[in-house]
Amino acid sequence: MGETEAIELSITEIITRLNTEITDYTGVKKWQEQTGGQAVGWLPPDVPVEIIAAFGLLPVAILGSQAEVKMASAHLPNYVCSYMRSSLDLVLQDKLNFLAGLIFPQGCDAKKHITDLFERNSQWTFLHRQLLPKQLDRPSSRVYFAQEIRRLISELKRFSGVDPTEEDYRMAVTGYNLNRGLLRQIVEIQQKKRTLSNEQFFAIVKSALLLPVAQCNVYLAEIIDAVSAESADETKIPLVLSGTIVESWELLRTLDEFGLTIVGDDLYAGYRYYNQDLLLDEGIRDPEERIVAAVVKRHYGQIPYSNYFAKDLDKKAFILDLAARTGARGVVFALLKFCDAVDYDYPLIKEALAEQKIPSIKLEIEFQSAASGQLKTRLQAFAEIIRGRGNGI
């Protein structure tokens, strides 16, 4: 067995172990058994996981499910996105009973209107509605958001009976900053070498959203060592993926099948999660106010998100810049069906990409849909178009 083959097996083995931990929240349940600690769920985007961790609680992202929706359809119309329907279905089937509670950001209309269904159909003793300002360039917006973060801290104190110390906040911030930094290192290597498959890469990102941060950081460091020793795969076509949340592993496998590799994204369960560290201002003496200020600063320095508005938040410019920075040769829009906000952004971004002669393709996805023959045909044609352009056609 050659050295390269051994390295490939090493990567495969690490990802296999990682997948075992993230499937059915296995890693979370192991952590609970070992520590006796409580896990608190959160729905993306923009929940400050560092604050949850400072209370000794384990933040666990709820990312929906690809399984058939069996019970949620009795509570929700079919025009609610599959992410919300599948997440509610997990609650109705008692598959999230290992959680002690849930933090529910009111990031879109669907989340605003169905929070009560999650509360009424669960046994949680804690459900927090995190209100998010939508017009970010209003002066009052920052004040409002800071108050919401203080309210989150107050509710967590009441629920947990814990009042975090300055060291608690620092340890939580340090762990998650390391986590995000390791993810960014993996992304940088992927952009240069395209070693990992799409399925492998997004399993890595998912692990950061589900596992205890210290355990995840060990995995990420191992992955960096393994992929750093790999040779670059120049045959793969680098792409940008735009959307909200991608839980369609069939889509990722189909992209892999045609040599299309994601090297950048704007997903809120992706790059939006790990693109910035939380930076504490040592000039603020009170540890609680220090972390509130840091969360507010990070939030207002984030990448564009379709449900927020500000004059300087230009998603079109962001996608063009991301494609240029990563060397992407095309953009795949994987847009969640019935997510109106991202649909509104799409035509302007598509037009801007066409002006720069960057190919793009729009895919309407649902969590429960397998990769159809039509989807495979479209992606195969998309890959051929890009390869043809590379040959001067």
Average pLDDT for 204-213: 97
Beta-carbon contacts of 193 under 8 Å, excluding residues fewer than 6 positions away, are 227, 230, 231, 232, 233
The kind and range of the H/E element at 105 are strand 101-105
The pLDDT value recorded for residue 129 is 94
Say what the pTM is.
0.93
**Domain chopping of the chain, boundaries:** 24-162
* Residue 84 and residue 76 in contact, taking contact as beta carbons nearer than 8 Å: yes
The pLDDT value recorded for residue 393 is 33
What's the pLDDT tens digit per position in 30-54? 999 999 999 999 999 999 999 999 9
Long-range contacts of 382-386 (CB under 8 A, 24+ apart): 382/258, 382/260, 382/330, 382/332, 383/237, 383/258, 383/259, 383/260, 385/359, 386/237, 386/329, 386/330, 386/359
Cβ burial, residue 178 (10 Å; 0-12/13-18/19+): middle
Q: How confident is the prediction for the chain on average, in pLDDT?
A: 91
Half-sphere exposure of 238 (CA within 13 A, CB side): 23
Please give the CATH topology (third level) of the domain spanning 24-162. Answer: Rossmann fold (3.40.50)
pLDDT tier for residue 306 given thresholds of 50, 70 and 90: confident
Q: Is residue 5 over pLDDT 60?
A: no
The pLDDT value recorded for residue 112 is 81
In total, the chain counts a number of residues equal to: 393
What is the identity of the amino acid at 78? N
* Residue 319 and residue 287 in contact, taking contact as beta carbons nearer than 8 Å: no
Long-range contacts of 18-24 (CB under 8 A, 24+ apart): 18/203, 18/204, 18/207, 18/219, 19/203, 21/207, 21/210, 21/211, 21/215, 22/203, 22/206, 22/207, 22/210, 22/211
Among the listed ranges 60-69, 143-152, 236-245, 363-372, which one has the minimum average pLDDT value? 363-372
317 vs 2, more confident: 317
Q: Is residue 225 over pLDDT 70?
A: yes
What's the pLDDT tens digit per position in 259-295? 999 999 999 889 999 999 999 999 999 999 999 999 9
